[in-house]
Structure 1
Amino acid sequence: MEAGIGQAANSGKRRLPSRHRLAQYRDGYLFILPAMIVMFLFTVYPSIRVFWMSMNRYRMIEGVQHTKFIGLENYSGAFDDHLFLKTLWNSFYFPLVITPLQTALALFIAVLLCGRIKFPSFFRTIYFIPVVLSFVIVGMFWKEMLNTNSGVVNDWLGALHIAPKRFLTDPKLAKLSIAFVSIWKSWGWYLVIFIAALNQVPKELQEAANIDGANAWQRFFRITLPQIRRTMLFVIVVSTMNCIKLFTPIIVMTGGGPADSTRTIVQYIWTSAFRMSDFGYAGAMAVILFFIVVAISFIQYKFMKSEE
């Protein structure tokens, strides 16, 4: 009986890790320590700092920091700010326009390049060139191309007896012009992603469907599309995030105009911080944007879980 009690007591004790396992833990933490330090210095600490700034009236006046704790006043002021609400709408307008067109274009060209087409590598290279170009250079290039008075695009329209268009000075056309340039710049990257996904679709399924008499559209919608749905979800989410954070082409091409029609929340944050020196208000808008991005990421996670 005493032996049974001793065995029960021994089994109840927590087993301490061996020295070898402790050494493995130590080595593992030492390996990730540099990455953790970099992440803390450039991600965690700035995020905490921005959140603290958003709770203060934080201004830089002639190089002197002026700070006063005001709680949630910056947040309430943001939702009472007409310009903030307008920039928030603009930030969602661009993904609503860009993401569907960009995704459809990239998928369509990817299907063509994965089919029986001559020189596919040449076309992939041509389509990918805009991706590696600087967005500043792309913005300057298209700003000159779309100029109302001297732009090449209006010269082409004039040759077709069409009146010149104010691509960058008309509010509606300016938004569409920014969307067009963003698609032209970025769709090649999503093209490469779709090509990689299409190459992973089992050829046996396509051959079996072809033998059963399925046409090209049926094979695409019944076989190809379900096989790449996770890739498509990834492309849609990443494209949406990038469009919400759209900044460079707007600064270069329109500066947020005309009449703030192309100004996004990221540009408004930048203007409030570095032009108006109101870092507290800019921090509050940045925190709001952060929670919007987190919400989208959460929706993505739940959707992927439901797919599984």
Structure 2
Amino acid sequence: MSETAGIVGSGADSQDTSTSESNKAARKRRRKEPPPEPTPLPGLVDAHTHLAACGGRDPDTVRAILDRAERAGVGQVVTVADDMIDARWALEASRWDHRAFAAVALHPTHAAELDDAAKSELEQMVADPRVVAVGETGLDHYWPSRSDSCATPAVQAEAFRWHIDLAKRIGKPLMIHNREADDDLLAVLAAEGAPDTVIMHCFSGDRTVAQECVERGYVLSFAGTVSFANAAELRFAAELVPDEQILVETDAPFLTPHPYRGQPNQSYCLPYTARALAEVRGVDDATMARILGDNARRVYRLPLQ
């Protein structure tokens, strides 16, 4: 009897394991599947995406990504660079399709690469009319203790100050990356004197930081994180931002909004986040899209469509 019980128990265990593996495989497949196309929400601009990381490596694939975005109501995008190779590519992509614009800089994790040659090349790039912002630059205090290749906080701060000066000299918006560095980042901006337009890309701070940024006149750009179940404080922040100081972005291929968190993101998914912001702010979807799109076109000085 005990042997029979043991055999039955083993069979049950095997069945449970098989089911568990099947569920894991299903979750893995879902993570690779792109979200369905949303109901279109016309007038939107993706204020920050990474076309190359989304698979757009040539004119045809960029066109396909932007065609899909346009069907969802996203008429223009700003594709953003992390390093010099990415900066060259972003500028090239902005010339392939009239709906794409570029932002170029060295990401704070790559700040150690900001030598004289990189500075000279970036200065040339930002003068191009297809480049609409200096970014993303800023401070990242998360990665230095986790990656040997990440620039130290001191090197990041030095590079950040140079990018601030560049944005002021060229007269274009400064696009900020901030990860776990609220106080230090705001202190550097105050000490250096911020450009006329500062965009807090993928804002992730609490309501106190949001209020400080609003009072300084900065623009806060919200990504899919604002829709996450554990982002109540971020939603408080999104609620208090004045209409004229709010943007929406994908940061694609990352930060896909709920209920598709963890799946591949692209600009066509932007309406999901825009609708989440509309709900947070208590306005209808069309009004929210108009506010977000008008702000992006004004901030980046994009041509009207």
With the length of structure 1 as denominator, give the TM-score of the two structures.
Answer: 0.25
Structure with the higher fraction of residues in strand conformation: 2
With the length of structure 2 as denominator, give the TM-score of the two structures.
Answer: 0.25
Larger Cα-atom Rg: 1
Structure with the higher fraction of residues in helix conformation: 1
Of structures 1 and 2, the one scoring higher in RCO (CA 8 A, sep 6+) is 1
